[in-house]
Amino acid sequence: MPEVYILIVDDVPKNLFALEKVLSKLEVSIIKATSGEEALAHTLNYDFALAILDVQMPDMNGYELADLLLGDPSTSRMPIIFLTAAYADEYHSFQGYERGAVDYIVKPFDPKVFLGKVSVFLELARYRIGLEHKVEAGTSALLEEANKLRLLVENTPDCILNHDRNGCINFINHSKNTFNFIGGSVFEFFTQADCLLLKNALELVFDKGEIAEFESEMKLPWNSEAICYSHRLAPIVRDSGITECVQISRDITHMKLADEARLKLVRAEADSMAKSKFLASMSHEIRTPMNAVLGYAQLLRREGSLTAQQIDYLEIIDRSGEHLLMLIDSVLDMAKIEAGRMVLAPSKTSFFNLLNDIERMFLLCARKKGLILNVEYSKELPDWLVIDANKVRQVLINLLGNALKFTDHGKIEIRAGLCQCIANNVTVYVEVEDTGCGIETDKLDNIFGAFEQAEAGARNIGAGLGLAVSIEFAQMMDGNISVSSEVGKGSTFRFEFTGQLTQFQSRRKANTKVAHLDPDVEAPHILIVDDDIDNLNMMGTILASVGFGVRLATCGKGALAAFQEQDISLVIMDLKMDGMDGIELAKRIRVLDHGNQVPILMVTASPSTQNRALAVEAGINQFLCKPVREQTLFEEIGQLIKLKYVYAGDENIKMEHEDNRRLDVKSIETLPLTLRIGLQKAVRSGYVDNIKDWIEQTETHDRWIGQRLRVMAEKFDYNSLLKLLDNSGQSYEKHQN
């Protein structure tokens, strides 16, 4: 309950005391005054609910005090009761009411009646005060909300305008100098081309009373970087109709730029997908015939009646095919890297064996160019590591291939060592140093870019992707490739990569040629399925040459019939075939009797990750990419059906233990002159496969001599081999003369 105050005024103190005692029965605060001046002073400090005035007082009587109170705006609403004992006539009563009093009471009075009248005015005062407080609180809340709305409007990033049908601005929120734009035209912010859009929107708002929305260019002086806005116009409806509207213009420049960026990304992804599909298709189209080309070249090497020139032709075919495949792989690798689909496939690897393989791969080519190839290892370098051996091998082949390509004299050195070892994590380096033509200084920063080549490289065949792919692989393995070079003196490439230490894992010596199946084992029957006749016949011939039983099928339907007619030990199939493809064929084989017990090997020219996943889901045991080398093919078959082979090296080792006779000049002289001349030329040329082929021809003439020559060739003891041939009567040089 709000506190209320009553002002009582009388120049006689005892009258004030008596009146106060009567009023004390009410819940009210009483303020006393003995004169008019004192009463007026109290009005400055209190808001009185009622004033009870004595009429007869010296200096200022009650009527005069009432005139002053009711004449002041701050007290004009104060109810006044005159209380007197001296003026009880009607004249004075009329004067009291004329002064604005609400009552005129003559003493003596009935206290109950008096208190009843006073209580009415007190309740009215309390009600008035309560209403005033409510109004005050409501007004304060409205002011607070208005202030919030003002702050919101002033600080919103949107531009909010209030204008009429003609675009005359009455309000605008965004400008430090808003008054400069009040009375101006909203059309000034729009381009001439977009003014028509605004005009159409205004017609919709003012003629139909509907909300209008559109997008356009807009230039606001306080937001010069924004160009594109979305606009929303809403009518302000009053009794007189629609005379104004509210326009909210929102900056959507960043959204438009983001949409454009997303559109470009979608187009780029579509282009990348199209490029990937094209590259995958081209890879398949090239690998399929290349599988036949290289496969038949391998078959021809098994013939014993080839001339030296024919063997050279085969060597050229083989090298050219491998070079073409290397270019395809580089392009595909770069496409995978750009698309972010290239991943590491770490496995246990003998790093020493990997380096030895690389050395053997390039040794004869280096000797043919008259170059010295040295490989050095630091003592602390570990052997067995968990690394992605294929990517490490590819980087080293690219670096060593470049060194060999651009070096015509001198030497190439490979140095491998350990950068650091923390727990089981190691960082290994391999340096490839050559004495070649070197790289121009201004080209050093660009040689690792895709399709970039130095001046010397531009004169050689290549896609310019080798170093680009190599540095990407190195960085994937938390490493890098750096280079230092001097024109005319040579270059040094340093390849660093990380791996983990691991335990020794035994494996069969690499590059061992299969001679034939183990004679103690019954020859398995293999079903080969391929709709490409050349590849089908080539695969069948390779397998049959070492003793496998072979069944050929050109389609899925024929393969299913052959599988049910014969006891098949292994199925080798292509992926893409007309009609029923390899995935569907594998699924159908798996539901046949004993179909789950027969391993399936897929050899395809489309080795994508998706195809591999589909093959695994269909129950295919192994997945190889065309063209596949016969050694890899034999190894995979041996693992799938637990098969043992007789290797050419095994026969030589057995021969060394069983026959200790020494090969001398007299033994060599028993060979035909054509064999001696062909072998001598092959050894001088430095082609390993050419040497092996002539040795195979020698074995058909004399098995013991051929096997002894094979042992010398595999040990790279070419000096002793040439010495025997040169001292065996007619030599190649004499024959030429």
Q: Which of 687, 689, 720, 651 is CA-nearest to residue 294?
A: 689
pLDDT value of residue 731: 46
**Is the pLDDT at 320 greater than 60, yes or no?**
yes
pLDDT value of residue 350: 85
Q: Quick check: helix, strand or coil at residue 641?
A: coil
Kindly report, residue by residue over 81-108, the tens digit of the pLDDT.
Answer: 998 877 777 788 888 888 888 888 888 8
pLDDT value of residue 35: 93
pLDDT value of residue 332: 66
Q: Which of 574, 531, 576, 569 is CA-nearest to residue 550?
A: 569
Kindly report, residue by residue over 20-53, the tens digit of the pLDDT.
Answer: 999 988 888 999 999 999 999 999 999 888 999 9
Which residues, 6+ apart, have CB-to-CB distance to 423 below 8 Å? none
pLDDT value of residue 282: 67
pLDDT band at residue 284 under the 50/70/90 scheme: low
Q: Dump the DSSP string for 33-70.
A: ESSHHHHHHHHTT--EEEEEE-S--SSS-HHHHHHHHH
Per DSSP bridges, beta strands 5-9 and 425-434 are unpaired
What value, to the nearest 5°, has the Cα angle with vertex 99 and ends 96 and 101?
65
CA atoms within 13 A on the CB side of 258: 4
User: Measured between alpha carbons, how far is residue 72 from residues 337, 439, 490 in Å?
Assistant: 91, 104, 110
pLDDT band at residue 8 under the 50/70/90 scheme: very high
Mean local confidence (pLDDT), 381-396? 87
Q: What is the pTM of this model?
A: 0.41
pLDDT value of residue 655: 43
For the ranges 122-126, 384-388, 431-435, 619-623, the lowest mean pLDDT is seen at 122-126
Helix %, strand %, coil % of the chain (to 5):
50, 20, 30
pLDDT band at residue 326 under the 50/70/90 scheme: low
Whether the CA torsion 512, 694, 722, 434 is positive or negative: it is negative
> DSSP class of residue 190?
B
For the ranges 95-109, 147-161, 388-402, the lowest mean pLDDT is seen at 147-161
pLDDT value of residue 179: 58
Q: Dump the DSSP string for 344-369.
A: ---EEEEHHHHHHHHHHHHHHHHHHT
pLDDT value of residue 580: 92
Kindly report, residue by residue over 104-140, the tens digit of the pLDDT.
Answer: 888 888 888 888 888 888 888 888 878 878 888 888 8
Rg (Cα) of the chain, in Å, rounded? 53
Which residue would you say has higher pLDDT here, 65 or 652?
65
pLDDT value of residue 258: 87
Mean local confidence (pLDDT), 468-496? 90
User: Measured between alpha carbons, how far is residue 531 from residues 548, 614, 633, 721 in Å?
Assistant: 21, 20, 19, 46
Helix axes 648-658, 703-714, angle to 10 degrees: 110
pLDDT value of residue 430: 94
Kindly report, residue by residue over 626-685, the tens digit of the pLDDT.
Answer: 777 787 888 889 889 988 888 765 544 444 434 445 677 777 888 888 788 888 888 877
Mean local confidence (pLDDT), 173-197? 81
pLDDT value of residue 594: 85
Strand extents, DSSP E, 296-410: 347-350, 372-377, 384-387
Q: Which of 413, 312, 402, 306 is CA-nearest to residue 359?
A: 413
CA atoms within 13 A on the CB side of 689: 21
For the ranges 506-520, 536-550, 650-664, 701-715, the lowest mean pLDDT is seen at 650-664
Mean local confidence (pLDDT), 294-314? 72
Tokens describing residue 198? 């605004």
CA gap 450, 447 in Å, rounded: 8
303: left (phi over 0), alpha (psi -120 to 50) or beta: beta
Kindly report, residue by residue over 253-271, the tens digit of the pLDDT.
Answer: 988 888 888 888 888 777 7
Kindly report, residue by residue over 694-706, the tens digit of the pLDDT.
Answer: 888 887 777 778 8
For the ranges 229-233, 463-467, 603-607, the lowest mean pLDDT is seen at 463-467
Q: What is the mean pLDDT of the chain?
A: 82
pLDDT band at residue 587 under the 50/70/90 scheme: very high
Inter-residue contact 605 to 284 (CB < 8 Å): yes
Q: Which residues of 611-633 are buried (b: 16+ CB within 10 A; e: fewer)?
A: bbebbeebbbbbbbbbbbebeeb
CA gap 351, 356 in Å, rounded: 9
Which residue would you say has higher pLDDT here, 71 or 379?
71
pLDDT value of residue 222: 79
Q: Quick check: helix, strand or coil at residue 518?
A: coil
Inter-residue contact 599 to 640 (CB < 8 Å): yes
pLDDT value of residue 650: 55
- H helices present in 82-222, as ranges: 90-98, 111-155, 192-208
pLDDT value of residue 339: 60
pLDDT band at residue 574 under the 50/70/90 scheme: very high
Inter-residue contact 569 to 604 (CB < 8 Å): no
Which residue would you say has higher pLDDT here, 59 or 288?
59
CA gap 725, 696 in Å, rounded: 16
| Percent of the chain clearing pLDDT 70 (strictly above) | 84
pLDDT value of residue 659: 44
Which residue would you say has higher pLDDT here, 378 or 653?
378
Tokens 């104060």 found at = 78
Q: H or E stretch including 241?
A: strand 241-251
